[in-house]
Structure 1
Amino acid sequence: MRDILAKLGVESSSALQFKREDVDLALCGLLFFDPTGGNPNPVLSLVRYSIVIYLVVKYARDAVRLPIPLALLAAFSVVMGCVTYFNSGSLSQSCAGMRFGMQIIASYLVFIHAVERDGFSRVLLLLAMFFLVALLVNDILMIALPYDRADATVLYLLGSKFTVSYGHAFLFCVLVAIVHSHRALMLCMGALCALMSYLAGSMTGLIVVIVAVLLSYTPKRSRKLLSKPLVVVMAVVLVNFLVWGPIDLFSNPLTQSFIVNILGKSANMTGRIPIYNMTMQFVAEKPLFGWGFQTDIYREVLGFGNAQNGVFHMLTQCGLVGTALYFSGLLLSFGRRIEDRSRCFGLYSFLLAMAVASVVEITLSSQFAFCVSLISAAELSMSHEAHVPMNPAKLDDSAFDGAVMKGSPE
């Protein structure tokens, strides 16, 4: 551990010394998970509302560092809340829709403040420790208790099988950003995270982890190329073109054989084909503002499911207007005029893995935005360092770049 901290340019005494505001970073980390699984739970919902309100109020002044993206996300929150109330007539569901957007804003504010205060390296270390402990407790209970892992609605300590598996993928990607030069350690951690995702029962989550592990072996020259927002956007566009375009990937005989014989799923991808057939109709009926947060339209018509696609999940919830506000806010929050973003490659690999999985699952929502907010805070700090001399009172992150580049496999 001491060697890792030395490579990062972080003094072990300062990195591991507890600070009062570290609690806020842990509270922000809790927003990644959802123990309710989207189901009504007054106590847990009150806790989540309290955390979001507390973090937004406390760090509101940091919004001036990123005014336009956060204004777009605030507008998205209002649109989501209003659309949800108009469609459902439920005030509580409408508040939940608005809270969804506000918790993304909360993560931006906390990360911007934490990176500015302590440096990117220490924030990564704290997040890694928090996720490691949280997931360890979750996994022990997941293995020890008689959960019905065959049940798609099963809830573990930290949430659904998808949330748990995405948490493992995010932990792995944070570790890649910290210690990717230790290839044997990363391979072991990748295998362990993949195993836990498999035991949780999420094939999509397993794919996300596998893609992240494969990306961790990307050569140094390619890391700089892949660590760009445009590449993430292109990945989302490409996978959706393969499915919705003329190629019609899921109807291909080879794809069908892989789904049935390798993945062990039904030919209609566990009900996804009829869902996809209805999705265009739902979007066409309410193209501008959609059906509201966590809409029940799929369950009302088909008896089960959601959009099962990242982009169409947003379109069915908040239409073209809300979707445009959401993705514009995320995209504009990435740093500008940064020549080398490979310092954040581990986090970009999480976005790329989630982008790939978005073709069959709703992976472009809260966990995706959580990672974008962390990258945004890091790149905002990089952009600031490029124009303003480094404050010697802060942790030195300059060695971090050297550690990343030095340890990158050719």
Structure 2
Amino acid sequence: MNVKITKLLYIAIILTFVKFPFVPPVIVRLCKAVVAGGAFLYLIQRGEIHIKGQFPILIFCCSILVSSLLAYRLTVNFAFSLVYALMIYELFVLTDRWIALYGAKNYFQVMFCLFLALCLLNDTVLLFDVGATTYMLGNKFGVAYYHLLLLTYLAALLWERKKDKGKLQLENIVMLVFALLSVFISKIVDTNTGMIGILIFILLYLLPDVVKKTLCNPVVTCFALYALSATILFWDYILSIDFIKNTIVNLLHRSLSLTGRLGIYRILYGLFQQRPLVGWGYESNIVAQELYGNAQNGIVHLAIQYGVIGVLCFTFLIFMIMKRSDESYRERMVMVAAMYSFFVMATVEIVFSNIFFVVMAVLFAFDNRNQKISKIRFRRGS
């Protein structure tokens, strides 16, 4: 029964990320609070709160709360940030518990079915309303991120079959079909960022094992994160390269200003200087107030919201996850490929939110302890 409760709570958290158009925002907020509170009480009751093993997650969530508390005081906005921090923490712990109790394969099977249903429902609706700007899975970027995660779950399941039965042509065809469909949907909702993220995932999935192993090194991971994010400092030079210029203008049909991003990047530093250590708080709209839109870069967005402290906690979380992640998990590299895809998309979008943390939570759960627990429970018939 405990395993079923773990699954139900995890699925409930995932469903709170979905923007059902017929549900008022106040009801969505209430549901999130109820699910977050209920899951936290359950984890306490099951003795799943472990400061030592969960320290990287806890300090990142605490950085969110500290930033929001200083920005909002004890107001409703702080309550929203508390619910968000709780749900991020619970994603990690419930994923860890699910895989430890029931195995990684079961997790991927259930999640693939869930995300397939969500994407099919979303895509069916959007095909009848192509000109819309928001969808059941959020804005156009959210649609692309959900399809990327669906593709990731599929790849993890196919990876199991490839390892067990050898490299089968059917698996490659299925993977290609899903990838093309995901790119097609991203094209319909007009997100080149999403298309690039999906293509990067496929490329990384096909890389030789020796390259994949290098990408799993925690130092390499953190270096790649910041190297990619730092491209905003060199956009003027990058955009002067003829190949890049022609690709953006003639192939992607976008402005060389990257839809206004370059103007935003030049002004954001002033906002950061005002609150460099702790930022402006969770879901702060300071960028929209001072300029328009958002920070348009994953790391910069974290720095504006949570400050230098939040960014360092985020980096520490990623480093420790990659350090403890056990390479004996067959699906590990698939999740790493998804992580790097988000890193690439983070150069021009704010992607370090719910779906990204779903990916990182799986990598967090891929440790040696869970391998041993799963084998013991399997032998016992649990």
Q: TM-score range by the shorter chain?
A: 0.7 to 0.9
Supply the AA of the counterpart residue of 1:63.
I
Q: Is the 8 A contact 1:193 1:209 kept in 2?
A: yes
Q: 2:25 aligns with which of 32, 38, 41?
A: 41
When residues 337 and 268 of structure 1 are mapped into structure 2, their CA distance, relative to the original with a 3 A threshold, is closer
Query: 197-206 vs 306-315, which deviates more?
Result: 197-206
Q: 1:390 aligns with which of 362, 376, 379?
A: 376
Aligned to 1:175: 154
Percent identity at matched positions? 21
Q: Equivalents in 2 of 1:79, 1:25: separation in Å?
A: 26
Specify the SS of the correspondent of 1:59. helix
Aligned to 1:194: 183
Aligned to 2:134: 155
Q: Equivalents in 1 of 2:325, 2:202: separation in Å?
A: 29
Supply the AA of the counterpart residue of 1:350.
A
Q: Equivalents in 2 of 1:93, 1:185: separation in Å?
A: 44
Aligned to 1:128: 112
Q: Equivalents in 1 of 2:180, 2:109: separation in Å?
A: 21
Q: Is the 8 A contact 2:197 2:341 kept in 1?
A: yes
Structure 2: gaps spanning 5 or more residues? 163-170
Q: 1:75 aligns with which of 62, 66, 75?
A: 62
Q: 2:85 aligns with which of 91, 101, 104?
A: 101
The alpha-carbon deviation at position 345 of structure 1 amounts to 1.0
The alpha-carbon deviation at position 33 of structure 1 amounts to 4.0
Aligned to 1:306: 294
Query: 329-338 vs 172-181, which deviates more?
Result: 329-338
Deviations 1:174-202, CA, capped at 9 Å, x for gaps:
11111044111101111111111222222
Q: Equivalents in 2 of 1:79, 1:199: separation in Å?
A: 40
Q: Does 1:29 align with 2:8?
A: no
Q: Is the 8 A contact 2:325 2:365 kept in 1?
A: no
Q: Is the 8 A contact 1:81 1:96 kept in 2?
A: no
Q: Does 1:370 align with 2:358?
A: yes
Specify the SS of the correspondent of 2:48. helix
Q: Equivalents in 2 of 1:337, 1:46: separation in Å?
A: 35
When residues 393 and 25 of structure 1 are mapped into structure 2, their CA distance, relative to the original with a 3 A threshold, is farther
Q: Does 1:258 align with 2:247?
A: yes
Deviations 1:292-331, CA, capped at 9 Å, x for gaps:
22222222222x2111000000001111122222332343
Aligned to 2:268: 279
TM-score scaled to structure 1, two decimals?
0.81
How many residue pairs were aligned?
Answer: 366
When residues 229 and 312 of structure 1 are mapped into structure 2, their CA distance, relative to the original with a 3 A threshold, is same
TM-score scaled to structure 2, two decimals?
0.86
Supply the AA of the counterpart residue of 1:128.
F
When residues 113 and 341 of structure 1 are mapped into structure 2, their CA distance, relative to the original with a 3 A threshold, is closer
Aligned to 1:185: 174
Q: Equivalents in 1 of 2:70, 2:102: separation in Å?
A: 39
Supply the AA of the counterpart residue of 1:331.
F
Q: Is the 8 A contact 1:34 1:163 kept in 2?
A: no
Aligned to 1:113: 97
Q: 1:269 aligns with which of 252, 255, 258?
A: 258
Specify the SS of the correspondent of 2:331. helix
Q: Equivalents in 1 of 2:194, 2:117: separation in Å?
A: 19
Specify the SS of the correspondent of 2:29. helix
Structure 1: gaps spanning 5 or more residues? 1-17, 397-410
Specify the SS of the correspondent of 2:63. helix
The alpha-carbon deviation at position 335 of structure 1 amounts to 5.0
Specify the SS of the correspondent of 1:392. helix
